[in-house]
Amino acid sequence: MAFLKKYLLPILVLFLGYYYSTVEEFRPEMLRGKKVIVTGASKGIGREMAYHLAQMGAHVVLTARSEEGLQKVVSRCLELGAASAHYVAGTMEDMAFAEQFVLKAGKLMGGLDMLILNHITYFSLGFFHDDIHTVRKAMEVNFISYVVLSAAALPMLKQSSGSIAVVSSMAGKMTQPMIAPYSASKFALDGFFSTIRQEYSLAKVNVSITLCILGLINTETAMKATSGMLMAEAAPKEECALEIIKGTALRKDEVYYDKSGWVPLLLSNPGRRIMEYFSIRNYNLERFLKN
């Protein structure tokens, strides 16, 4: 107990003080002329992010499965003032498409500053029994395709000192019933991209990764899926989309958005950050960095 009072508590106070004091103010002009990819952009949060980016004067390349939906969003983006707007329709179940999409988007814009990974595959809510196909599909679309897209984008993002936004969920930070495959894919995002963020920091790779932890958002798909099942109040998709863009532009490690203001406090887990900080001391970093 004496050790806790003498050493651990002061370290915790200093760590939290530093972490929460390094706050920069967001300015819309940060996105003017920036080259941005948004996945899952034909509806919902992705569509709203595309509209916000257009109003800020960014170049956007959008993707989703619905070509008709993408055409409408691109047309609206140009009306709102996008520096340029293009789309490439396809499915993230196809990893070859995911990789080629990033390369094509980079050619269309002449580079890349920000990659916003927002797409997901949907399935009905229910207790898990033995549907391995659903688990595999959730992991492939909601997780593996994110890895493929980010790996393909990394050379361009290194050149621009760019940013990656990984849209996740509270279901990737805490357990919730009836969404086991979805939750598994979201926990995987945290494990992978938080580790990659740490590796980039150690290797001096100037590419930020922002994990966006969202609660229930009032998209048509989410409202339909949870109707009669979930009584929580949904947060607005327009504001959610803006918060994702803000946090990514400011190169934050994590962004929390939910109707409840308690979520960041309860899920941000400063204890984990402290343990991660001290765990690095156990590695022979010189050997790792040489490899």
Residue in 109, 115, 171 with CA at minimum distance from that of residue 145: 115
How many residues are given for the chain? 291
The residue behind tokens 């390094």 is 22
**Triad 172, 93, 216: Cα angle to 5°:** 30
DSSP 235: B
CA distance 93 to 89: 12
Active site residue 20: no
Q: Token digits for 38?
A: 């948004």
266 C-beta neighbours (distance < 10 Å), count:
12
User: What pairs with residue 88 in β-bridges?
Assistant: 63
Residue of 146, 182, 256, 257 marked catalytic: 182
Residues serving a catalytic function are 182
